[in-house]
């Protein structure tokens, strides 16, 4: 689950999407890092990411609404076919 390489200046953990941080090999294994190595993000990048997250949340709301409608229409279709089958059965 965790892949920690201790002989280097940094530790790399796969669960944190390969974000690198400073670490000390003599630290207790429960707290194997000291700080993140990632460079600070540019303000424009932060704005773009925030905008993309808002769009993604909007799309997720639309998907949830469409899935609700799809299940409702599926129920209506099943009920209509059952009623049509009963109609055909009793009229013949």
- 13-72 pLDDT tens trace: 444 555 565 556 555 566 655 565 667 788 999 899 999 999 999 999 999 999 999 999
Q: Which residue has the higher pLDDT, 53 or 9?
A: 53
The residues, any chain, with a CB within 8 Å of residue 7's CB and separated by 6 or more, are: 25
Instruction: Single out the residue of 23, 31, 30, 29 nearest to residue 7, CA to CA.
Output: 23
């Amino acid at each position: 689950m965790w892949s920690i390489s201790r002989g280097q200046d940094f530790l790399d953990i796969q669960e944190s999407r390969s974000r690198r941080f400073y670490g000390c090999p003599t630290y207790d294994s429960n707290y194997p890092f000291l700080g993140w190595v990632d460079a600070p993000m540019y303000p424009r990048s932060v704005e773009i990411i925030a905008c993309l997250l808002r769009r993604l949340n909007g799309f997720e709301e639309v998907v949830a609404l469409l899935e609700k409608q799809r299940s409702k229409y599926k129920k209506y279709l099943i009920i209509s076919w059952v009623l049509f089958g009963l109609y055909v059965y009793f009229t013949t």
